[in-house]
Structure 1
Amino acid sequence: MNQGNRAYNFNAGPSALPLAVLEKAQQELLDFRGTGMSVMELSHRGDVYEEVHNQAIARLKDLLSISDDYEVLFVQGGGSMQFSMVPMNFLQPGKTAAYIMTGAWSEKAFGEAKLFGEPYHAASSKDSNYRYIPKLEDIKFQESDAYVHLTSNNTIFGTQWREFPDTGSVPLIADMSSDILSKPIDVNQFAMIYAGAQKNLGPSGVTVVILRKDLLEKANTNIPTMLQYGIYAKNNSLYNTPPTFGIYLLGEVLNWVQETGGLAELTKRNEEKAKLIYDAIDASNGFYYGHAEPESRSLMNITFRVKDEALEKQFLAEAKKEGFVGLNGHRSVGGCRASAYNAVPYEACKALSQFMVQFQAKHS
């Protein structure tokens, strides 16, 4: 184990947070900005917290170049709550919803939509156990679509969209929980983006929603108050007590991104980190092999197997002893998974790559 007593954290989520952010939070924990209180103790109606809240929104708008055509909301309930809120708000009677199926989270989102309307599969890679992202030309939409939904990165299967479909006048909604802020995106291509914070944005407990105002105007209001996007927008996400500490940390993570050099620098770092591990897989002559097809590989979640099941168990056991945390693959895929989110340092990925090479040399 390196980095003092810090683990090599490859957890899929909640995941690594920037050390600088944790250290700042530690310093400010008991006395936030001279208040004599922790940020967790501040009133969410007070000026000090309101500045924290608005600063987080402003930083996200700056980093993603979000125009005034969009609302930025902080919602609780994780990405899973969004699986329900999206159809409750936008799947009108007589309309359909196109879901592009690329993994477990797409399946869960689709299952929730079935409770409220008529979703269908516009494309799917389930036939291969979600090894690839469907080609754009294979995605089939319907004229009755209220929206199109996709999951931009698939944590369990290790696949990620390289480019997104052009849905024309039909709103495109994306679950970006596991790769938001990992690379530049054109927000204007989407009517809505949502993301649980616990991968790249901060701790668990807060979900970011980026919602175009013209879609918001069409939202259903005949649903419970706390499930209406309009309530969050009208009240600056302060209708009820928000997860104040999570939003504070989210704002500090965004500040860290800005100080690091923004999305261009993070993209470079993420590509370099992922390459270290993929190179170890590709150069192993089959000792390691990936789950995702090469053209669909994720920079965030690197999924792979060891050629022999007994060796795979030994690999994971030895890796754990060496201080690597969270390398077990999801039960639906098995094997190994290294989640190299923004805050996972280059050194951790280099150490894992070197461990993989050394393990292979011992057991080939």
Structure 2
Amino acid sequence: MELAATRDILADLIGYPTVSFDGNLALIAYAAGRLSDCGARISIMPDETGQKANLFASLGPEIDGGIVLSGHTDVVPAEESEWQSNPFELREADDLLFGRGTCDMKGFIAATLAMAPHYAALDLKRPVHFAFTFDEEVGCFGAQQLVAELQRQEIRPSVAIIGEPTEMRIIEGHKGCYEYTTEFTGFEGHASTPDLGVNAIEYAVRYVSRLLEIGADLKQNAPVNRFTPPWTTIQTGCFHGGSARNVIAGHCAIDWEMRPVRRADVDYVKRTIRAYCEEILLPAMQAVSPDAGIVTHVVGEIEGLEPTDDNEARAIVSALTGATDADVVSFGTEAGLFQQIGISTVVCGPGSIAQAHKPDEFVSLPQLQACLDMLSGLQDRLTA
């Protein structure tokens, strides 16, 4: 029965095209309505634009020590021409449910909403919380706002299960994700006299070259760990600059990221690239044009999830799923933000990360059933 309800709810959720650059308010209202019908205490937390919001809902006593079931509501874009069907309309074939967000990660959200009436009917001794966030895909902005609000309201859950697609494996650790845009302001001029200008593209290239050198150092000196790859990675994703072949580029911007295996690497990268700018690049640029500059904008700085010896969330999910081990992954989630405020956290959810962000994304019905089995088993933990 729960599987059929989950499928129907998932169909509703997929129908809300909550691409990160759009709003998610309709989906939040839908989820809030279902949880409110169960008697949940509802808190909707809008962002500063009023176009997006987090939902935090609770069942059970208003005490510390609750269990959080968390998922993000936003999805990446879907180009309909690349899909076999409308990406925002659920399609079922051979026990697979297709649609944007089915595995990443509306399948998990649907399962929690399907279980909510069952939790509400119990004599709960421990609260269960539903945390649905916005803008995970572009910087975990919703979760950052959510955990800050939990601290402000002195809401203290002790366990969080983040339902990202792991094929129901327990993930106890992942790398952080630090994203930046670095802008270079040069001085335009005619290409025939390059010494009279400051070519922003050329200085950006030197900056990227230094990042590559730093990345090589990190690879050479990586600590022993279980990540793949086992070193802090640095990657340049986008490069924008210039106006014409024969014009000295007056502006350039690069989008880059690093995924650290440890916090010390973050400090090393920031310290090293800042020193390179201040001691090498900026003096050379400003010797020609005092107004030349380099500015780095933080897109998002998300801490990793650190494996710990004492992890209540891991113990609970292990008992519920039968998994005897826990793994680490290189992709990022919101889990580290919950861990930062003292909540024991793991990542475990239906579907495969291999399907995320691709055309014809899907989650299988057996995976949803395995998730429901875990969530159903949680009932004993909530009533003891």
TM-score normalised according to structure 2 size: 0.24
TM-score normalised according to structure 1 size: 0.25
